[in-house]
């Protein structure tokens, strides 16, 4: 029986984090089932990926420039594919943003949407005609649990993820007619250098013009709580990447996949009460009224998830 040709996988945002880990894991697949096109906006940042790729570089992994915010860049990259053929598109490129709403300009908000929402749509529009023609394809979008549940001081970022979730949920129904699948991967907190640096930087900010209550809530309540959540529930980029690799390898991939089972009960609050009161009041009470209970809860999670007491959970 002839061996199947490797599937071509294009990944955006591969200079670091999840994108880099996904590209390397797929390129190192023991069965050599994939050829990876790892892309990034700035090729001056490719050194880390090249080092991690090792002997897979220019074998099962190639690196290309791609700016998801540019129509021209997207077209150039997609047109460079042999016969414009792509089996799997992984929309990973994204940017984060936290802070009091009053300090965020409309231009900054537009930038977040340009990357997280319109960037993904640009890529999907570029590859969809060929996938439809071939009656085959898989589109993966790295979303977030914040595409399902809003979190304080993440207003704009959550909005961009809510938008891409709604877009994909609508499109997925149409694409089944063409045997094209969409998968929304929804990680919780991910421990990356970028996240830690972002929180350190905003902690030093003064936020002039913002009322004292909001500044106190953000700097003295939200940021310490966020750090606690990342410490307790945060996953590594390698872990999330492995979950995505497993989804890509499935013959019938799921539409939604949350990588962190510890976060699922928090998201479930939203769907347990259609009025929305349960999730909103629960978050408010834990964060602002019963803060001590919040830290007791995270300490309990640390205990029950300690490797001394449980088997390591791995994506399947």
Binding residues: 13-41, 67, 144, 161
- DSSP secondary structure letters along 18-41: HHHHHHHHHHT-TT--EEEEEEES
| Under 8 Å between Cβ of 156 and 104 | yes
Distance CA 229, CA 231 (A): 5
Strands in 30-187 per DSSP E:
34-40, 61-65, 88-91, 137-142, 180-186
Q: What are phi and psi of 10, to 5 degrees?
A: -105, 125
Burial class of residue 17, CB neighbours in 10 A (0-12, 13-18, 19+):
buried
pLDDT band at 288 (very low <50, low <70, confident <90, very high): confident
Binding residues for NADP(+): 13-41, 67, 161
Q: Give the pLDDT score at 82.
A: 80
Average pLDDT, the chain: 89
Binding residues for substrate: 144
Please give the positions annotated as active site.
Answer: 157
pLDDT tens for 213-248 read 999 999 999 998 888 888 888 889 999 999 999 999
pLDDT band at 141 (very low <50, low <70, confident <90, very high): very high
Q: Which residue from 219, 93, 208, 228 is spatially nearest to 153, judged by alpha carbons?
A: 219
- CB contact burial 221-247 (16+ within 10 A = b; e otherwise): bbbebbbbbbebbbbebebbbbbbbeb
Q: Give the pLDDT score at 299.
A: 64
Q: In what order do the strands lie in the sheet with 7-11?
A: 61-65, 34-40, 7-11, 88-91, 137-142, 180-186, 256-258
Enumerate domains of the chain plus CATH numbers: 7-190+235-269 (3.40.50.720)
Q: What is the largest CA-CA distance in the chain?
A: 70
pLDDT band at 293 (very low <50, low <70, confident <90, very high): low
pLDDT tens for 164-209 read 999 999 999 999 999 999 999 999 988 877 677 777 778 778 888 8
């Amino acid at each position: 029986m002839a061996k199947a040709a490797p599937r071509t996988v294009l990944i955006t945002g591969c200079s670091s984090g999840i994108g880099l880990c996904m590209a390397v894991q797929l390129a190192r697949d023991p069965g050599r089932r994939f050829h990876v096109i790892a892309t990034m906006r700035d090729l001056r940042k490719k050194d880390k990926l090249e080092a991690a790729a090792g002997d897979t570089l220019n074998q099962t992994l190639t690196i290309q420039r791609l700016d998801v915010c540019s129509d021209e860049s997207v077209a150039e990259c997609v047109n460079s594919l042999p016969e414009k053929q792509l089996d799997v598109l992984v929309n990973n490129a994204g940017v984060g943003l936290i802070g009091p709403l009053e300090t965020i300009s409309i231009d900054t908000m537009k930038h977040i949407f340009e990357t997280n929402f319109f960037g993904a749509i640009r890529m999907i529009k570029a590859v969809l005609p060929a996938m439809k023609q071939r009656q085959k394809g898989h589109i993966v979008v790295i979303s977030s649990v914040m595409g399902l549940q809003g979190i304080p001081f993440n207003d704009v970022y959550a909005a961009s993820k809510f938008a891409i979730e709604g877009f994909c949920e609508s499109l997925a129904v149409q694409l089944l007619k063409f045997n094209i699948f969409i998968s929304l991967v929804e990680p919780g907190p991910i421990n990356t250098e970028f996240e830690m640096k972002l929180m350190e930087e905003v902690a030093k900010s003064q936020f002039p013009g913002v009322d004292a209550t909001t500044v106190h809530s953000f700097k003295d309540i939200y940021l310490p709580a966020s750090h606690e959540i990342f410490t307790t529930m945060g996953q590594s980029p390698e872990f999330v990447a492995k979950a995505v690799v497993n989804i890509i390898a499935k013959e019938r991939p799921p539409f939604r996949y949350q990588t962190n089972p510890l976060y699922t009960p928090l998201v479930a609050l939203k769907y347990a009460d259609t009025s929305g009161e349960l999730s909103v009041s629960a978050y408010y009470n834990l964060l602002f009224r019963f803060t001590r209970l919040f830290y007791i809860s995270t300490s309990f999670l640390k205990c029950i998830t300690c490797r001394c007491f449980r088997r390591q959970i791995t994506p399947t």
